[in-house]
Amino acid sequence: MRDERPAKGEAAPAVWFAYSPDRKGAHPQQHLKTFRGTLHADGYAGFGQLFVSQEITESACWAHARRKLYEVHQAQASPLAATALTHISALYAIEAEIRGRPPDQRRAVRQARAAPLLGALREWLEHSLEQVSRKSGLAEAVRYALGRWPALTRYCDDGRLEIDNNAAERALRPVALGRKNYLFAGSDPGGDRAAAMYTLLGTAKLNGLDPEAYLRHVLARIAEHPINRIDALLPWNVVEQLVEPERIAA
* 3-class secondary structure per residue, the chain: CECCHHHCCCCCCECCCCCCCCCCCHHHHHHCCCCCEEEECCCCHHHHHHHCCCCEEEECCHHHHHHHHHHHHHHHCCHHHHHHHHHHHHHHHHHHHHCCCCHHHHHHHHHHHHHHHHHHHHHHHHHHHCCCCCCCHHHHHHHHHHHCHHHHCHHHHCCCCCCCCHHHHHHHHHHHHHHHHHCCCCCHHHHHHHHHHHHHHHHHHHCCCCHHHHHHHHHCCHHHCCHHHHHHHCHHHCHHHHCCHHHHHC
What pLDDT is attached to residue 244?
64
What pLDDT is attached to residue 246?
43
**pLDDT for residue 209 is more than 60:** yes
Average pLDDT for the chain: 91
pTM: 0.87
Say if residues 84 and 121 touch (Cβ distance below 8 Å): yes
What pLDDT is attached to residue 247?
52
Q: Which residue has the higher pLDDT, 31 or 246?
A: 31
**pLDDT for residue 28 is more than 80:** yes
User: What sign for the dihedral angle of Cα 24, 1, 140, 126?
Assistant: positive
**pLDDT for residue 250 is more than 70:** no
- φ, ψ at 191 (rounded to 5°): -65, -40
Q: What is the Cα–Cα distance from 189 to 221, expressed in whole angstroms?
A: 25
Q: What percent of the chain has pLDDT above 70? A: 97
Closest CA to 115 of 152, 140, 70: 152
Per-residue pLDDT averaged across 55-63, rounded?
94
pLDDT digits (tens, 9 = 90+) for 174-204: 888 887 777 777 899 999 999 999 999 999 9
